[in-house]
Structure 1
Amino acid sequence: MESLTRIFYALGRALFQAVPAALGIVLVVFLFLQLVPGDVVDVMASQSGSATAENMAWLRAEYGLDKPVLLQFYSYLSHLAHFNLGYSPRYGTDVTTLILSRLPNTLLLMLLAQCVALVVGISFGVIMAVWANKWPDRLLTLLNLLLYSLPGFWMGLVILLLFSVQLDWLPSGGSQTVGANLTGWHAIVDTLRHAVLPVLSLSSYFIAIYARLTRSAMLEIASQDFVRTAHAKGLHPRTVALRHILRCALMPVTTVAGMYFGNLLGGAAVIETVFNWPGLGSLAMEAIVARDFNVVLGVLLLSAFLVVSVNIVVDVLQSWLDPRIEGKK
């Protein structure tokens, strides 16, 4: 019961902090987008090649782009209060419908990349801490240095050339095989095959971060008194390492994982472009080029919501890992 109370307390505190943060993000992004020269009507006119000044003025009035900035912002907040992200002139559909059609692909890519980064990174960190200053530690330290130094998009291009172009083991882009019309389990397997290369590219940098952080945290905790007491009780070294040292070492790892979730989302935009993955990142890039600010605002707002949600989960997880946190806060 006490554990549930701590979790609900952490959840309520995080939600209370998230609301003003989300409103601040909407305001700042909206004002910055107003400073960008041109609008979606200019792009549509340049693409059509035959737009007149009267037609452009009519389109701006139709989309509310001729109103003062404060009135546009008030109108956007009014729509947002009704869970309406507006209309996309570029795509000719509601922004909510457009984002929801791309959201599953981005969530799949990010969740797989985060899981791979955490599992592999923590495993590397445990191995490096257990065999500190020995050959496994030195070998993995060199590997982590390479993963940390190489940009994700460059890593993506290299593995794309190797596994797709040269070896022809995996697809080179997209999220599904074009024209295959797969269903059920075969469709899932096909999507996962397309996700392998983007996931490896996106997770490589974070594997190095989590590995080094786990190693340093475990080595620091291993010298504390409660660990020596556990050894004195005759517990198996593996039990001490996994149940006592690693659990405490997961505290900074989960904190950094929550902090870097925004970086993961930003990296997904680049990786989606490299692999032609139909997600929110590629949608945002297309909307920026088209000056479709409703789509850009919708993607950024949803991204902020995802980051805030992940930080809420991290707060709840930390309250479960270490009950002393509530007392400190």
Structure 2
Amino acid sequence: MLKFILRRIIMMIPQLFLLSVLVFLLAKAMPGDALTGQLAGNPKMDAQTLEEMKEKLGLNDPIHIQYVRWIKNLLHGDLGMSYTHQQPVNDLLAGRMWNTILLSAAILILTYMIAIPLGIISGRWTDSWADKLIVGYSYVSFATPLFIFALIMLFIFGFKLGWFPTGGSVDIQVEKGTFDYYVSKLNHLLLPALSGALINTVGTIQYLRSEIIDTKLKDFVKTARAKGVPESSIYWRHILRNSFLPIAAFLGYEITGLIGGSIFLESIFSYPGIGQLFLQSILQRDYSVVTALVMISGLATLIGTLLSDIILSAVDPRIRIE
């Protein structure tokens, strides 16, 4: 196991290098530059002053020199300067990163809290009225775009019923660190987290349902029944244990997938996370922030893939990769 983990970590180095090259080239290929988004609406800025600022910041240097300078700073933990927000990208991401991590963790927890019981019920009692309701719910969730569902949830529970806040991550009136602060934080988190979870459950429900149905027909399950093993024991010790393998394997991919989904959720619910910042930075052409966020997302994807393999081999020792 240790050799496998070390080998995968070493393989991540060239993958991250190729990702950095691709991200940098795509950022440079986009129209405008880091100053265009900031100064486009400034009537006092003339072309000469803009050109002088570009020269000062090294934006007119050859592209390979700009890349080497950027990658050196990246290796030293310097993500650059946000020209739109006029502060280092590290400081800009510090507050928002934890909001996104908190939202992603809440979505993941709620997803499994909802999907696992429904998948077990649907798989164990196939073709029952409960199974038909769950399958119908899965089809509706699969066919509904996340941003449409989030808008409906915001309209009903935020504006119409007023049960949840319609924006932000915490009330500005409460003092940080107090009990009211954490209650407000939870209150702002629940609606976007629940909206994301209700849509994300479809994959887990279908995987678990299919695995339970397939495992029920396996020879070792028939043998256990022939030996007189109680049905409840067969389900918990034989069927469910094997059915959870694909769920465990996709845990890492679920984590990385939440980062992409957070862009819509954070934008719709005005939740101050890196997803909302990513969209704003693209519109404002703040490419230092865009490249930093894409690199962070790529690193998270590689770590999630590694985590999936580790979890899968830990759950089923028969398939450990040495």
TM-score by structure 1 length? 0.92
Matched, 1:225 2:213: no
Q: Which residue of 2 aligns with 1:310?
A: 304
Shift of 1:260: 4.2
Picking from 155, 170, 177, the partner of 2:164 is 170
Matched, 1:181 2:175: yes
Q: Which residue of 2 aligns with 1:3?
A: none
Contact 2:314 2:320 in 1 (8 A): no
SS at match of 1:129: helix
Picking from 120, 124, 128, the partner of 1:126 is 120
Matched letter for residue 57 of structure 1: E
List aligned pairs for 1:170-249, cutoff 5 A.
170-249=164-243
- C-alpha root-mean-square deviation of aligned residues, in Å? 1.7
Shift of 1:323: 1.2
Matched letter for residue 302 of structure 1: I
Q: Which residue of 2 aligns with 1:26?
A: 20
Picking from 279, 290, 293, the partner of 1:285 is 279
Structure 2: segments with no counterpart, 5+ residues: none
**Counterparts of 1:71 and 1:107, CA distance in 2:** 34
Change (3 A) 1:230 1:100: farther
Shift of 1:233: 4.2
Identical amino acids, percent of aligned pairs: 27
List aligned pairs for 1:1-329, cutoff 5 A.
6=1, 8-326=2-320
**Counterparts of 1:232 and 1:186, CA distance in 2:** 58
Shift of 1:216: 0.2
**Counterparts of 1:226 and 1:186, CA distance in 2:** 54
Contact 1:10 1:319 in 2 (8 A): no
**Counterparts of 1:137 and 1:93, CA distance in 2:** 53
Shift of 1:16: 2.2
**Counterparts of 1:12 and 1:240, CA distance in 2:** 37
Matched letter for residue 248 of structure 1: N
Shift of 1:184: 3.1
Contact 1:11 1:315 in 2 (8 A): no
Shift of 1:247: 2.0
Deviation per CA, 1:159-200: give whole Å up to 9, x if none.
111112121111111100132335333222211111111112
Structure 1: segments with no counterpart, 5+ residues: 1-5
SS at match of 1:267: helix
SS at match of 2:41: helix
Shift of 1:158: 0.9
Contact 2:250 2:308 in 1 (8 A): no
Q: How many residues align?
A: 322
